[in-house]
Structure formats: structure tokens, C-alpha cells
Chain A
């Protein structure tokens, strides 16, 4: 029962370009959607969230878009930097547990 899907296991982007990470979900009865970033041998770090009543949230170089009719969200990183190379997890939550997708490994090439 994969409630959060990230169909691209990996993505490579040139430094300075835009990175677009995609995520689809099946059950929309959640209040928030989240993006986490994870480096090897570390725990996930919260990046950005979006309420289910909004369609866009922006924080510096990071913007998350939510398309409720398509049950799809995306994370845009612009401009991409080598330090952004990590695994990105899409997730959703209501009030306690966080449900994670399988992750997309982003490589930003200098």
C-alpha cells in the first residue's frame, strides 16, 4: 500500500539549473505534505511543507507545488547547487505519523 509514490529513483542536474522532484499520492485525507532531505549516515532533515488547502509554498530556492486534482506535488530547487545532492523524500502527515515515499536521489553536477 504505497500511499506516497516517487517514481524517479534518481535525478541528475547541472549546477545552476532547476531540479524538479515529483511525487504522487493516493489518499488525500491528510493535512500537510512535506519534503525531507537526507544525506548518507544522517537522519532526514525537514525542508519545506505545504498545507493541503494551498497550491504553492516558497522558501528561498525551494518551492513546492500541490495539484490536488491530480494528487501530485513537486519540489523545485533553483538554482541547484552541489550541496543539494542528497536523497529527497516526499511525505504526508495529518497529526502524528509521517508517511514517506521511497525517495529520489538527486545529484547536482558541478
Chain B
């Protein structure tokens, strides 16, 4: 049973470009969570999604960031017009049901904005 998969593992974008981060949850998991870790900080919750629905996006920046979890395929975190401050590690977690204590994390995508 493969774990949570994220790709790419490393992504370099120039300022103003778009970044797309993908997350494939564990088999049987229909709940996906995205977190961001800025340098020297802990992980910060961004958004929680179920298939085709955004349930809680209270941690998402108001502009340029969006997330989706379509019926088929991975969850996508999209950052438009990236800025240097978006450089961070982005982690995805999944769970079989709504829970805060049963989330399994992927290895993360490290985004660098030059």
C-alpha cells in the first residue's frame, strides 16, 4: 500500500510564473489536507478537501492560491504569479475519514522562487 505521493519533489519557478503541486492520497483515503512550512517554522494548515469539495480553506492566502481535489486524479495546489515569499516546503496529508489524528503525510514539495 503506497503512501501519500507528492510531485514534483522540487520545483523551481521564476517570479510571476505559476506553480502546480500534486498530491496523490493513500489508497482508500478521500480526505486531503495541505500544509506549508516556511523556513524555521512549523507546518501551517492551508486547506482541507474531500473529493470535489473544499471543506475548510481558512489557512489559504486570499489571493493567488487555489486547491482542488477532482473526482479522478490527484489533488492540486496551484499558486499563480509566485513571489519569493512563496518559497517553502508544501506538504500534503490524507486520511480515510475526517480526523486530526490519523493524517498520513507525503514527503513534500520544496518550491523555490527565484
Q: Which residue of chain B has the shortest Cβ distance to A31 in the bound complex?
A: B100
Closest Cβ neighbor of B110 among chain A residues: A41
**Which one of B41, B45, B104, B108 lies within 8 Å of A97 (CB-CB)?**
B45
Flag B27-60 by CB within 8 Å of A: 1 or 0 each: 0000001010000111111001000000110110
Residues of A within 8 A of B44 (CB): 100
A95 and B100 form a contact (CB under 8 A): yes
Q: Is the CB of A102 within 8 A of B91?
A: no
Considering only residues 79-110 of chain A, those with a C-beta below 8 Å from chain B are 89, 91, 93-103
- A42 lies within 8 A of chain B by Cβ: yes
Residue of B nearest to A41 (CB): B107
Bound-state Cα–Cα, A100 to B59, Å: 13
Do B100 and A43 touch (CB < 8 A)?
no
What's the Cα separation between A57 and B35 when bound, in Å? Answer: 27
Most buried by B among A46, A94, A98, A103: A98
Taking the complex as formed, is B101 at the interface, i.e. its CB lies under 8 A from any CB of chain A? Answer: yes
Given contacts A42-B107, A44-B43, A102-B40, contact A97 B59 (CB under 8 A): yes
Q: Which residues of A contact B99 (CB under 8 A)?
A: 95-96
State whether the Cβ of B105 lies closer than 8 Å to any Cβ in chain A. yes
Not counting A96-B33, A97-B58, A98-B103, a sample of 19 additional A-B residue pairs whose C-beta atoms are within 8 angstroms of each other reads: A6-B42, A31-B100, A32-B101, A42-B107, A43-B4, A43-B106, A43-B107, A46-B103, A46-B104, A49-B101, A89-B43, A93-B101, A94-B100, A95-B100, A97-B33, A98-B35, A98-B100, A100-B44, A102-B40
Which of A's residues lie within 8 Å of B, judged by CB? Answer: 4, 6, 31-32, 34, 41-46, 49, 89, 91, 93-103
- 24 example contacts (A-B, Cβ-Cβ < 8 A) are as follows A4-B42, A31-B100, A32-B100, A32-B101, A41-B108, A43-B91, A43-B107, A43-B108, A44-B91, A44-B105, A46-B101, A46-B103, A89-B42, A91-B42, A94-B100, A95-B98, A96-B33, A96-B55, A96-B56, A96-B99, A97-B45, A97-B48, A98-B45, A98-B93
